[in-house]
């Protein structure tokens, strides 16, 4: 392939991305697909490889929606694809390594098939160092675009198709809100709905506020209309999505409407289950607890990232709450919703973490009794304040702490699941089990995975399952009956 020159529309700049101004958020409407791009994908296939969190999964659904409006159809085969987009994650270094491995591997395919359009998007493309590395070493890439540029995909694809240069468009802006974007949702059962974008918390280890812009909430009317539409289409579950959903509405200047108000309104829409992710303990207020305690379609599962059980470490992480504040919040939630299932995220081996400080994380875990936890060894991200901190905790110690933490969580998870032995739970049947097509699998309101034998026509339905074999991470049981639709969630 000829050496391509890069055509910069706008390269990323982490310093610019950190700015938080006072300008109003613009709410844009997605344009039509440009005339010359309509039908351009007829008879051609596309593939999107998605890394990272649900925000990325949902962005991929949006990109798929635009590609399908241009006539492309989805494929699982790289060889068949005319467009391959890699939607990347920047949260951990090993996620980045995987992406570069993937880009390197695809060079052979691009050499064999020069007409293939290879694109890189998502959080990694918001990092200057990543864009520069691709420009210098991965000329097989045709297109790089950022998280603020997703709605521009039809225009960028046109540039990439008709230009011999690498197309780069990564805005380091605070972000707009784009409504009316088309979406191809993964299944007809469960849907993700963005309620807000960006994050202003600037936890010192996290790159997200730089890659996703400032906190900006979609208007309630748009969110509620999207959920009503999903209910009309027969979806059984929605998950409201944002980096910090508890900050929803804080950016509205013209009216007072919070996340609790939104949940209260969503509660009245006829969709059987409503979840949300991710919560920030600092913004989790009493009004929200009060609304969640009304239950109905609001499930009794809350993911409440703690990150550490030690107040000094929380302070260095800039989490803006203390161990005591977190435990008080947990106490209030448990009082209002006694059967609540709490899950969390924990980072071990943060720079300077002492054995005593780590033990406070263990004791927090014991005290809260999470049903499960995502646990990670701290990994520095270039451009974040924590990456400049002196890290005197050896990898050996970090690994040993992670092992102890996981052992403790496994014990608690087993105990929690054991308490469900003999109990009958409501399960939304999602499909066949990945390991055995004879077995069906689904989830409880508390998001626990349940496997059981039953006829295939139950897929997509709510059923009762009696738990007879609780395991550490999953539950096995026996199908009892179908749930009367009027009783779902009651
Ligand atoms: S709340 Fe903290 S960890 Fe979560 S996205 Fe924002 S900065 Fe990152």
Q: How far is ligand 1, taken at its centre, from the CA of residue 398, in Å?
A: 22
Pocket lining: 130 vs ligand 1, CB cutoff 6 Å:
no
**Which tens digit of pLDDT belongs to each residue from 390-424?**
999 999 999 999 999 999 999 999 999 999 999 99
Beta strand 372-377 with 301-303 is unpaired
pLDDT attached to residue 9 = 58
Pocket lining: 429 vs ligand 1, CB cutoff 6 Å:
no
Q: How far is ligand 1, taken at its centre, from the CA of residue 227, in Å?
A: 25
- Answer yes or no: is pLDDT of 1 > 50: no
Q: How far is ligand 1, taken at its centre, from the CA of residue 56, in Å?
A: 15
Mutate to test the pocket of ligand 1, among 126, 197, 209 (most ligand atoms within 8 A of CB): 209
Pocket lining: 243 vs ligand 1, CB cutoff 6 Å:
yes
- Answer yes or no: is pLDDT of 223 > 90: yes
Give ∠ CA 57-169-71 in degrees, rounded to 5.
Answer: 55
Mutate to test the pocket of ligand 1, among 52, 201, 282 (most ligand atoms within 8 A of CB): 201
Task: Determine contact, residues 269/227, Cβ cutoff 8 Å.
Answer: yes
- Answer yes or no: is pLDDT of 7 > 70: no
Residues 6+ apart with CB under 8 A from 210: 14, 17, 18, 126, 127, 383, 384
**Which tens digit of pLDDT belongs to each residue from 267-322?**
999 999 999 999 999 999 999 999 999 999 999 999 999 999 999 999 999 999 99
The overall average pLDDT reported for the chain is 92
Q: How far is ligand 1, taken at its centre, from the CA of residue 313, in Å?
A: 15
Using 50, 70 and 90 to split pLDDT, how confident is the model at 484?
A: confident
Q: How far is Cα of residue 390 from the mean position of the Cα atoms in its chain?
A: 30
Nearest CA to ligand 1 atom 8: 206
Q: How far is ligand 1, taken at its centre, from the CA of residue 202, in Å?
A: 6
Using 50, 70 and 90 to split pLDDT, how confident is the model at 263?
A: very high
CB atoms within 10 A of CB 131: 23
**Which tens digit of pLDDT belongs to each residue from 161-211?**
988 789 998 887 777 888 888 889 878 899 999 999 999 999 999 988 888
Which residue numbers belong to the known binding site for [4Fe-4S] cluster? 53, 89, 123, 199, 203, 206
Pocket lining: 201 vs ligand 1, CB cutoff 6 Å:
yes
Nearest CA to ligand 1 atom 2: 203
Which ligand 1 atom minimizes the distance to the CA of 199? 6
Q: How far is ligand 1, taken at its centre, from the CA of residue 245, in Å?
A: 11
Task: Note the pTM of the prediction, 2 decimals.
Answer: 0.89
- Answer yes or no: is pLDDT of 256 > 60: yes
- Answer yes or no: is pLDDT of 3 > 50: no
How far is 21 from 198, CA to CA, in rounded Å?
14
Domains of the chain: 6-169 (3.40.50.12160), 177-418 (3.80.30.20), 424-487 (2.40.50.140)
Q: Kindly list the distances between the CA atom of residue 257 and the CA atoms of 224, 250, 264, in Å, as whole numbers in the listed order.
A: 13, 8, 11
pLDDT attached to residue 205 = 95
Which residue would you say has higher pLDDT here, 343 or 210? 343
- Answer yes or no: is pLDDT of 2 > 60: no
Pocket lining: 44 vs ligand 1, CB cutoff 6 Å:
no
Which ligand 1 atom minimizes the distance to the CA of 206? 8
What percent of the chain lies above the pLDDT cut of 70?
A: 96
**Which tens digit of pLDDT belongs to each residue from 69-123?**
999 999 999 999 999 999 999 887 788 889 999 999 999 999 999 999 999 999 9
pLDDT attached to residue 408 = 98
């Amino acid at each position: 392939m000829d050496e391509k020159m890069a055509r910069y529309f706008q390269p990323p700049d982490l310093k610019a991305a950190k700015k938080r101004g006072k300008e109003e958020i613009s709410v844009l409407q997605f344009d039509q697909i440009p005339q010359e791009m309509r039908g351009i994908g007829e008879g051609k296939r596309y593939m999107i490889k998605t890394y990272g969190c649900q925000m990325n999964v949902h962005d991929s659904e949006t990109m798929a929606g635009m590609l399908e409006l241009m006539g492309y159809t989805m494929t699982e085969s790289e060889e068949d694809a005319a467009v391959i987009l890699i939607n990347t994650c920047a949260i951990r270094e090993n996620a980045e390594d995987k992406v570069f491995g993937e880009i390197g591997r695809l060079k052979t395919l691009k050499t064999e098939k020069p007409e293939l359009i290879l694109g890189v998007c998502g959080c990694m493309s918001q990092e200057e160092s990543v864009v520069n590395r691709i420009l210098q070493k991965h000329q097989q890439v045709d297109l790089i675009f950022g998280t603020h540029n997703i709605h521009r995909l039809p225009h960028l694809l046109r540039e990439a198709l008709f230009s011999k240069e690498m197309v780069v468009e990564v805005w380091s802006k605070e972000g707009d809100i784009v409504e009316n974007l088309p979406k191809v949702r993964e299944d007809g059962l469960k849907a993700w709905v963005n309620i807000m974008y960006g994050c202003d918390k600037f936890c010192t280890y996290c790159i997200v506020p730089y890659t996703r812009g400032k906190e900006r909430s979609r208007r309630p009317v748009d969110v509620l209309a999207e959920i009503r539409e999903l209910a009309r289409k027969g979806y059984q579950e929605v998950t409201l999505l944002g980096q910090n959903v508890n900050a929803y509405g804080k950016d509205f200047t013209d009216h007072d409407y919070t996340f609790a108000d939104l949940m209260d309104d969503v509660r009245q829409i006829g969709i059987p289950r409503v979840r949300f992710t991710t919560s920030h303990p600092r913004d989790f207020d009493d009004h929200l607890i009060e609304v969640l305690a009304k239950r109905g379609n609001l499930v009794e599962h809350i993911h409440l990232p703690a990150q550490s059980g030690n107040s000094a470490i929380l302070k260095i992480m800039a989490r803006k709450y203390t161990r005591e504040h977190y435990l008080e919040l947990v106490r209030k939630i448990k009082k209002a919703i006694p059967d609540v299932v709490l899950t969390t995220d924990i980072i071990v081996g943060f720079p300077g973490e002492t054995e005593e400080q780590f033990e406070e994380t263990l004791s927090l875990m014991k005290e809260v009794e999470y049903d499960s936890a995502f646990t990670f060894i701290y990994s520095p991200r270039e451009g974040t304040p924590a990456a400049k901190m002196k890290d005197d905790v050896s990898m050996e110690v970090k690994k040993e702490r992670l092992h102890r933490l996981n052992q403790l969580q496994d014990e608690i998870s087993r105990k929690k699941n054991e308490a469900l032995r003999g109990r009958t739970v409501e399960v939304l049947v999602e499909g066949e089990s990945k390991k055995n097509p004879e077995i069906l699998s689904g989830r409880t309101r508390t998001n626990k995975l349940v496997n059981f034998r039953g006829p295939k026509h139950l897929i997509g339905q709510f059923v009762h399952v009696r738990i007879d074999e609780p395991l550490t991470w999953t539950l096995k049981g026996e199908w009892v009956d179908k749930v009367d639709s009027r009783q779902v969630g009651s």
